Structure 1
């Protein structure tokens, strides 16, 4: 077991975040089947230790399937909108189609290949893929992507303004999302 969830949960308690009892194995399985993904180990352990509830937290226990799917789709939909309507088009996707419909179809096919993200809090997302451990937490607004934590513990420290009490790991590279984060960082630096 990772040691991140207990300390992350303690930090949330210290900041007054409402916490319900953690999800049971059965509840996790129900959510995964209902919404169509599997939590990554780090995120699953976090949610099974205690379940953060309230504004900006996904309602994994009682949330409507449509609402959870909308939250899950947020990162991809933001990129799709920019690819279809704006000038965003990564070179790895090939030549940019002239029609918006074709751009959206091509972009959707490309995005079907990138690691899946699930919401942690507000617009903060973590990957579900077990090969990206520890998974960085990304803050995502369309194609503006920022690494908002090198792992869940670092995310909680940053999001809730608590000094880090651990050695943060070297950031794990997550294809596409880490590239967008590097692009955002370069743009912010004027490069």
Structure 2
């Protein structure tokens, strides 16, 4: 067996050795373990999007208008944001930054903090690439996922 065949076969002690294997390993790690062997890791993935919004509240002066007048101090803003975000639906991680909401009309959201993009209008559209780029702004918000659909329309 040549060195290239050895690396491609992935037989180096089970560790990824080619760039494709490394990318695949990273993707698997970002997808969560849906067999719940790592409940804490999966729970962290589910909470990650809310944590990103809280980060923007704390460090980037983000404030959602529906939350009312922001408190004057940073601790107060963070406290109110936590309370309000506890009410929003949790999103299910798909892979990477891709998440889907709990509603039937949920688009697939790509989320980083308060920056949202819709790479697929629905879970069924994910393989087809049908995305927000095909819709006029008059069709926003996309989907009916409370808070997240509105945040996408705003971002």
Q: TM-score, normalised by structure 1?
A: 0.56
Are 2:117 and 1:146 equivalent residues in the alignment?
Answer: yes
Among candidates 84, 99, 107, match of residue 125 of structure 1: 99
State the match for 1:182 in structure 2.
153
1:1-191 matched pairs, under 5 angstroms:
54-128=28-102, 132-158=103-129, 171-184=142-155
* 1:98 to partner: Cα distance: 2.0
2: CA distance, partners of 1:57 / 1:155: 15
1: CA distance, partners of 2:37 / 2:54: 25
1: CA distance, partners of 2:154 / 2:122: 20
- Gap change, CA 1:110 and 1:62, over 3 Å in 2: closer
Give the conservation status (yes or no) of the 8 Å contact 2:54–2:82.
yes
2: CA distance, partners of 1:121 / 1:156: 13
Q: Which runs of 5+ in 2 are unaligned?
A: 1-26, 131-141
Q: Secondary structure at the match of 2:104?
A: coil
Q: TM-score, normalised by structure 2?
A: 0.68
Aligned length: 119
2: CA distance, partners of 1:71 / 1:65: 10
2: CA distance, partners of 1:86 / 1:177: 18
* 1:105 to partner: Cα distance: 1.0
State the match for 1:49 in structure 2.
none
2: CA distance, partners of 1:85 / 1:70: 20
